[in-house]
Structures are given as C-alpha cells and as structure tokens.
C-alpha cells in the first residue's frame, strides 16, 4: 500500500461518511430513467433522515448506476 493510500484510508476510517444508493433508498424505483426533477419521487422520510444524519456530522454521498 502506498503512502497516499494509507493517508486516504486513515482519513476515511476516522470520518463519518454515509454512502447511499439513490434508486430504491432515497427515491422510489422507476421503470424508466429519471430525466428531470419532476420525475424524481422521494421515499417518505428519506430526505428527513438524510438531514438528520447531516446535522449529526455525517457526510452524505449519493451514488447511482443510472447512466
């Protein structure tokens, strides 16, 4: 492991990071790609939960496999 890798690993081991999948975790699954904000339908409570995590010092990273 390189010095850079060790430094990055050390930083993330001590950080409060939450990685969330977008589809099915934050928003309801859709049969087609979500192309604009009007098609995005959040799961009840998901935004509030993310807000609470953020207020408690967590960094939030949202990922998706939608291309």
1 belongs to a structural domain: no
pTM passes above 0.85: no
34 belongs to a structural domain: yes
Note the pLDDT tens digit of each residue in 3-34: 877 877 777 667 788 999 988 899 998 888 88
41 belongs to a structural domain: yes
**Which structural domain, as residue segments, surrounds residue 54?**
15-63
Selecting among 20, 23, 34, 60, the annotated active-site residue is 23
Our count of domains for the chain comes to 1
- The rounded distance, in Å, linking the Cα atoms of 54 and 27 is 18
- pLDDT (0 to 100) of residue 62: 92
Q: Is 5 a catalytic residue?
A: no
- pLDDT (0 to 100) of residue 65: 84
9 belongs to a structural domain: no
Q: Is 21 a catalytic residue?
A: yes
Selecting among 7, 11, 21, 39, the annotated active-site residue is 21
Note the pLDDT tens digit of each residue in 28-63: 988 888 889 998 899 999 999 999 999 998 899 999
């Amino acid at each position: 492991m390189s010095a850079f890798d060790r430094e990055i690993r050390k930083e993330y081991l001590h950080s409060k990071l939450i990685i969330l999948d977008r589809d099915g975790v934050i928003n309801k699954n859709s049969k087609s790609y979500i192309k604009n904000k009007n098609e995005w339908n959040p799961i009840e409570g998901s935004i509030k939960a993310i807000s609470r995590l953020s207020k408690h010092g967590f960094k939030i990273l949202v990922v998706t496999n939608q291309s």
